[in-house]
Amino acid sequence: MTKSDIAERIHTGVGLTKKESAEMLEAVFSLMKNTLEQGETLKISGFGNFVVKQKKDRRGRNPQTGETLTIESRRVLTFKPSALLKEAINRSNESRNRN
């Protein structure tokens, strides 16, 4: 599913124009992105948590040459789905397995 698919579903489900739907979706994504850029946790009830974690420097190895090197510290984004989302996914998977 793409952003345009989501905007189309907002358009048909809520009744906003296609342009308004796309603008609203873009505003939501922009807000989410800004929140995560600042290192804040983003919690969406019933969906899950987006968390920015700090990774430390670590030793690594170039697999082609075997040379050891230092992998720089960095921030990574993780997502932990809520129990409700996990449950919904597993229910959907169970119904597919029965057919």
Model confidence at 95: pLDDT above 90: no
What ranges do the domains of the chain cover?
A: 3-98
Q: With 90 as the cut, is the pLDDT of residue 92 above it?
A: no
Query: What is residue 21's predicted lDDT score, i.e. its pLDDT?
Result: 95
Q: What is the pLDDT of residues 70-91, one digit of tens each?
A: 999 999 999 999 999 999 999 8
23: which 2 tokens? Answer: 């603008």
Dist. CA 49–CA 69, nearest whole Å: 33
Rounded to an integer, the average pLDDT of 35-62 is 95
* pTM, to two decimals: 0.75
- Give the bridge partners for 76, in sequence order: 53
Residue 74 in contact with residue 66, Cβ under 8 Å? no
Question: Does position 30 have pLDDT exceeding 60, yes or no?
Answer: yes
Of the pLDDT bands very low, low, confident and very high (cuts 50, 70, 90), residue 98 is low
**From CA 63, how far away is CA 45, in angstroms rounded?**
42
Tokens of 69: 């090197």
Please say whether the structural domain 3-98 has been given the CATH code 4.10.520.10. yes
> What SS3 class is residue 50?
strand
